[in-house]
Amino acid sequence: MRLFNQSKKVAAVHDLSGVGHVSLMAVIPILSSMGIQVCPLPTAVLSTHTQYPEYTFLDLTDEMRRMTECWKHLDFTFDAFYTGYLGSPAQVQIVEDLIEHFKRPDDLVVVDPVLGDNGRLYKGFGEEMILEMRRLIRRADVITPNITEVFLLLDRPQPEEALSDECLKELLKALSDQGPEIVIATSVPVTDNPHMTSVYAYNRRGDRYWKVTCPYLPAHYPGTGDSFTSVITGSLMQGDSLPIALDRATQFILQGIRATFGYEYNNMDGIMLEKVLHNLDMPIQSCSYELLE
């Protein structure tokens, strides 16, 4: 018998970066605040994320194998598996093994295919990481690429011009055809409106497309993708519908950016999560999702 009041557990496969509010330093506080127990399987330890001019990097590929074996011996179970920034292409195989061994039929697999942003790959990543990430998304129930990652995963050049709703629907469907039931594309520019940004989503079950558009503040904060997907993961684990999860996640990111933007601050340090975490306890403030016909 599963106890009714036990917290759900998520195995979280991300790096630990000392400064910058990215990866585990977004995943752990957000999911813990949402009442979910985070079990980290760290992929690498860095001084900072890789967008600072300098950083140290410790690859934990071998340790991940050891930790996974230990978890197997101890017969742990998880309700969800959530992967983000990987430290080496070889880690995809380890994650596949983790899912293969531990995933039960109702467990959730969320893959945030972290590869790049603003049309460029992150430092340290090359063709092999793209190829392996294309393999990993086939195992996922939910993927959350930004628009740069959408084109990298589909092996298509990213066009300069703005993308229509029809075009986005085709891209999401093409990704879902590879395996994931739910595809969420973030950081999509809004045609002729530099002050807005959209998130598009497709749910194969029900064959419906959703869009949430929200104000865009002219600043780039690393880690917002990690915070976004963490809220999506927590929200789906709590039983929210896809459009409600989209609304919760976009509102949380907007609150985080608004809380940070007014300070004289180095944007590389990421959004000031500590100022907005308590918002995750509150019911959703307003709904702004649209169903795309």
Residue 81's DSSP bridge partners are 11, 109
Nearest to 113 by CA among 205, 171, 183, 65: 183
Rounded to the nearest 5 percent, the helix, strand and coil shares of the chain are: 40, 25, 40
Tokens of 5: 């009041």
Minimum separation from the CB atom of position 19 to ligand PXL (A): 11
Minimum separation from the CB atom of position 270 to ligand PXL (A): 8
Tokens of 148: 């740069």
Minimum separation from the CB atom of position 14 to ligand PXL (A): 7
In a 3-state reduction of DSSP, which class is residue 237? helix
Task: State which residue, 79 or 226, has the beta carbon closest to ligand PXL.
Answer: 226
Query: What is the residue whose two structure tokens read 């967008």?
Result: 51
Tokens of 175: 């990704």
Q: Which residues, other chains included, contact 28 with Cβ-Cβ below 8 Å and sequence gap of 6+?
A: 12, 38, 40
Task: State which residue, 95 or 176, has the beta carbon closest to ligand PXL.
Answer: 95
Nearest to 33 by CA among 217, 247, 241, 233: 233
Task: State which residue, 26 or 175, has the beta carbon closest to ligand PXL.
Answer: 26
- Cβ distance 253 to 224 under 8 Å? yes
Task: State which residue, 64 or 203, has the beta carbon closest to ligand PXL.
Answer: 64
Minimum separation from the CB atom of position 49 to ligand PXL (A): 3
Task: State which residue, 225 or 243, has the beta carbon closest to ligand PXL.
Answer: 225
Minimum separation from the CB atom of position 121 to ligand PXL (A): 10
- The secondary structure of residue 130, as a DSSP letter, is H
Chain residues binding ligand PXL by CB under 6 A are 15, 17, 22-23, 46, 49-51, 85, 114, 122, 222-223, 225-226
Task: State which residue, 107 or 112, has the beta carbon closest to ligand PXL.
Answer: 112
Length of the chain: 293
Minimum separation from the CB atom of position 227 to ligand PXL (A): 9
